[in-house]
Amino acid sequence: MPDLFELAKERVKQASQRRLELSEDDAEPAQNEGTLSEINQRHESCTLICGSASCGKTSLINRFLDKNETPAKTIALEYCYATRTRNNIKELANIWELGGGSFLSNLLDVTLTQKNIEITSLILFIDLTQPEDIHATVMPILDVIRKKLDQILREINDKQPTLYDKIMMKSKKRFEEHKDTKIIKPFPIPVVMMLARYDEFQNYDTERKKTTLRLLRYFAHINGASLQSYSSNMENLVTRGRSLLSHFAFNTAINLPNSIDPLKPVFVTAGSDSIESIGPLSGSHGFINTYQEALEQWTYALNEDFSQKHADKSLPEDPTLDKQFAELEIDRIVDQRSRELEMYIKEKRDRQAAAEKAQQKLAQ
């Protein structure tokens, strides 16, 4: 069993090599060269696809790539790419898929860098048929991504404050005049929460559907994300999913009207919703002033409506825990590697915390 963290780093190297090959093929005269940011926006994109297991992530990628094959279970972090030529310019779409639900969410850390922050988007799959797993699935993933993006933004601010201001302005622009602006905490990258397995969800009773969608609309809204229903078994929703992936990959247009009808597939663009439109959550009381208060209210309501499973219960999704594959020597090595990975992550976080404290003291 290979070291998953080393495997992820190897995938990054392969992606970097592919980008280098394409950039060499697409070399332009020096007088036409722009800044790295401008070149990235013109030629390249990066899309992260992750979230609930067995919800059609690989199927969507295969359909986007026009692959007619039965999707295999994604074990860890998989990389693929798509290219096209538009106006005599080669465009490269990097696509990363994380398997295993939230169990391996730390692997997303290696896919986010200073060089790709302006061209990266996130598609987060959420299983509509398993509302009791929502918190355990989405929070570890979003926490990893937020922390990594915060780290990257601090580094950019130190070296390129103008670029930092540009990224932050673009992130907040859609919400600066929104009446809920005080409680919205947008990501500096576009985020879409893909509400998967809609073909099964549509058969649930109306009240359950209303409650589930109200909670997910609220959560998406306060995180500055869009919402879109999806099912790999419904061709119209597959088409919508491909359009979304094409939009992130090649900046194509999406022409879908907003829909918040709980009896139909939903499509809600970031910034178009509101707390007033969503309505009160279970147990809501008082006026919400901050993102943290809004998140706490959502967490409370989520547990009230659908008692949440502990995050540890997602561990059986890890195929290395399947007893039918038990191998004493291999399992011993995997266990050792897992401990080393945990130590590495802890040391990295400790170093970051120490650096932040040092900066705060200098600022004082």
Tokens of 320: 């290395």
**pLDDT over 50 at 39, yes or no:** no
pLDDT greater at residue 276 or residue 341:
276
For tokens 């869009």, the residue is: 226
How confident is the model at residue 311, as a pLDDT? 52
Q: What is the pLDDT of residues 75-118, one digit of tens each?
A: 788 999 999 998 888 999 999 999 877 777 888 888 999 999 99
Which residue range forms the structural domain that includes residue 362?
327-364
User: Residue 343 class from Cβ within 10 Å (0-12 exposed, 13-18 middle, 19+ buried)?
Assistant: exposed
Count structural domains, the chain: 2
What is the Cα 11 distance to its own chain's centre?
18
**Best-predicted range by mean pLDDT (5-19, 64-78, 196-210, 302-316):** 196-210
CA neighbor of 251 nearest in space, from 58, 80, 114, 93 = 93
How confident is the model at residue 88, as a pLDDT? 87
> How far is residue 127's CA from residue 258's CA, in Å, rounded to a whole number?
21
Q: Are residues 245 and 359 in the same domain?
A: no
How confident is the model at residue 30, as a pLDDT? 32
Q: Are residues 123 and 206 in the same domain?
A: yes
% residues pLDDT > 90 (the chain): 60
Q: Are residues 340 and 191 in the same domain?
A: no
pLDDT greater at residue 98 or residue 316:
98
How confident is the model at residue 140, as a pLDDT? 92
Give me Rg for the CA atoms of the chain. Answer: 21
Any residues with CB less than 8 A from the CB of 297 and at least 6 apart, and which? 281, 283, 284, 288
> How far is residue 75's CA from residue 151's CA, in Å, rounded to a whole number?
27
How confident is the model at residue 93, as a pLDDT? 96
User: Residue 272 class from Cβ within 10 Å (0-12 exposed, 13-18 middle, 19+ buried)?
Assistant: middle
Q: Are residues 363 and 258 in the same domain?
A: no
Q: What CATH number is attached to the domain comprising 80?
A: 3.40.50.300
How confident is the model at residue 28, as a pLDDT? 39
Q: Are residues 16 and 32 in the same domain?
A: yes
Any residues with CB less than 8 A from the CB of 7 and at least 6 apart, and which? 76, 77
How confident is the model at residue 81, as a pLDDT? 95
Q: Could you tell me the pLDDT band of residue 45, with boundaries at 50, 70 and 90?
A: very high
Instruction: Return the DSSP state at 71.
Output: P
pLDDT greater at residue 31 or residue 16:
16
Q: What is the pLDDT of residues 131-153, one digit of tens each?
A: 999 999 999 999 999 999 999 99
How confident is the model at residue 324, as a pLDDT? 55
Q: Could you tell me the pLDDT band of residue 314, with boundaries at 50, 70 and 90?
A: very low
**pLDDT over 60 at 25, yes or no:** no
> How far is residue 207's CA from residue 209's CA, in Å, rounded to a whole number?
5
Q: Are residues 230 and 261 in the same domain?
A: yes
CA neighbor of 264 nearest in space, from 302, 298, 237 = 237
Q: Are residues 267 and 360 in the same domain?
A: no
Q: What does pLDDT average to over the chain?
A: 84
Q: Are residues 267 and 335 in the same domain?
A: no
Bridge-partner residues for 79, per DSSP?
96
How confident is the model at residue 19, as a pLDDT? 54
Q: Are residues 178 and 53 in the same domain?
A: yes
Q: Are residues 312 and 359 in the same domain?
A: no
Q: Order across the sheet with 267-268: list the strands.
A: 77-86, 89-98, 44-51, 120-127, 191-196, 226-229, 267-268
CA atoms within 13 A on the CB side of 342: 7
Q: What is the pLDDT of residues 170-214, one digit of tens each?
A: 888 889 889 999 999 999 999 999 999 999 999 999 999 999 999
CA neighbor of 26 nearest in space, from 89, 119, 84 = 89
Arithmetic mean of pLDDT, 262-288: 92
What is the Cα 191 distance to its own chain's centre?
6
Q: Are residues 176 and 228 in the same domain?
A: yes
CA neighbor of 119 nearest in space, from 140, 95, 146 = 95
**pLDDT over 60 at 22, yes or no:** no
DSSP-based three-state secondary structure for 132: helix
Q: Could you tell me the pLDDT band of residue 4, with boundaries at 50, 70 and 90?
A: low
Arithmetic mean of pLDDT, 233-245: 97
% residues pLDDT > 70 (the chain): 82
Q: Could you tell me the pLDDT band of residue 34, with boundaries at 50, 70 and 90?
A: very low
Q: Are residues 290 and 343 in the same domain?
A: no
Q: Could you tell me the pLDDT band of residue 10, with boundaries at 50, 70 and 90?
A: low
